A and B are shown apart, each in its own frame.
Chain A
Amino acid sequence: MLVASSNFLVPNATFIVELVAFLIVVFILGKYILPRIQAPMEERQATIRQALLDAEEAKRRSAEAEVEYKRIVGEARVQARAVVEEAHKMAEQARTERRQQAEAEYERIVTTAGTDIDGQIRRAQEALRQQAADLAIAVAEKVIGEGIDRSAQAAFINRTIDQLATSSGGVTEKA
């Protein structure tokens, strides 16, 4: 069975079998195998191309968003500064108003207190005057030893005190 060919560079009938086998391989590869490899390959390449384009678009959008973000942050800072200034202004105004109200209240309390004090002084003076008149009449009754007209004497004493007060007031005013 093992045969040494006369010249192994010369083909024999095997050539036909090999030729047919090779053509069958080419046909099946070209008809059934390669189209089913090339289609997914091209689809994947298209997907990758699209992904790259999408990534490029996302990068561009990201850059735009960053610019927009910086612009908004800048505007927000300006607005925040304006709000703070407005708040300071309002606080200053409120402080001024409160101070004015407090000063007015102070003036009112002081005035009321002065009025009360003058009234009390007047009432004290009146009481003092009455007591001085009663004391003078009592002393005079003891000295004279007889009864005197109390109402006439009281009117006389009050007149005298008024005169004294007037003269002392005039002295005071002169002083």
Chain B
Amino acid sequence: MLEGAHLVAVNIPVGDHITRGGLNLDTIYTTAVACAVVLGTGLYMARKATAGVPSKLQLVWETVVGTVQDQVDNSLGPKYRNVVPLAVAIFMLVLVADWIEILPGLFHNTDYAPSPTADVNLTYAMAIVVFVLTNAASIRVRGFGGYIKHFFRKPVAMFPLHIIEEIAKPLTLALRLFGNLFSGGIMIALLISFIPRFWAASIIFTPVWKLFDMFIGVIQAFIFALLTILYFQFATEDGGH
């Protein structure tokens, strides 16, 4: 039994990608699919958007945009409405990217498409953008001197921790999302690899886990977007957090 489990575990690829010229083609492919879905539905809906009775698609977009807008208004105030496109883009892209995992794949794993958010390249990219923009907002509000000074706020001896905290924000943002989706992919691969020996359990639990993964996808998209807004709030409020 233990020997069987060992053989199953050995067969699961962890962190492997289809690469060419230093590019993870599978991640780029799934990212392109996610971007196409987000922009395609968004542009289609924007062309048909009406102030009358909205379509279901428009209702979904309006719900997301309205929720993000309310959150931005409550946390930052209406003058920071330019954060809304960033937060909406994060939520929609992460959500669609997370949900790609429930589809059958085309590359090295035909049982599921690895989510692009299960690759640090996308999560780092999004986190870097958030990091740069929140720090730019902090400098704009506090001035460069005030920005530097806020790392040395009282107690001054804690300034190394303040700097580490600032660096940890984008890292945790990226790795939290990556870790959840990466482990979700491993779980699906594990369940699928059960088929030869425990086919009944695999047939029952694979769809259950995929549905749970969809729930995790929503939660992670929400957390990433919410933390982005909160980081802007911390960066722009008087005296930092």
Please list the residues of chain A having a beta carbon within 8 angstroms of any beta carbon in chain B.
1-5, 7-15, 17-19, 21-26, 28-30, 32-34, 36-41, 43-44, 47
Contacts and interface: CB of A to CB of B under 8 A. Distances in A.
Contact of A34 (B18, B88, B122): B88
Given A5-B16, A26-B86, A26-B89, A44 B51 contact: yes
Contacts of B124: 11, 15, 18
A93 to B, nearest CB: 70
B12 to A, nearest CB: 12
Contact of A22 (B19, B61, B62, B129): B129
Contact of B24 (A12, A37, A43): A12
Given A3-B18, A28-B42, A37-B58, 10 more contacts: A14-B22, A15-B125, A18-B27, A19-B128, A21-B35, A23-B129, A29-B39, A29-B89, A32-B43, A38-B69
A37 B61 contact: yes
A18 B86 contact: no
Interface stretch (B113-121, B155-163, B202-210, B215-223): B113-121
A28 B39 contact: yes
8 contacts: A5-B15, A11-B121, A15-B121, A30-B85, A37-B46, A37-B62, A38-B65, A38-B69
Nearest to A24: B35
A interface majority secondary structure: helix
Nearest to B88: A29
B232 to A, nearest CB: 14
B93 interface: yes
B120 A8 contact: yes
A34 B92 CA distance: 12
Contacts of A13: 21-23
Contacts of B50: 40
B137 interface: no
B149 interface: no
Contacts of A38: 65, 69
A32 to B, nearest CB: 6
B115 to A, nearest CB: 13
Contact of A37 (B45, B86, B108): B45
B121 A14 contact: yes
B139 interface: no
A29 B42 contact: yes
A38 B49 CA distance: 10
Contact of A25 (B13, B35, B54, B82): B35
A25 B23 contact: no
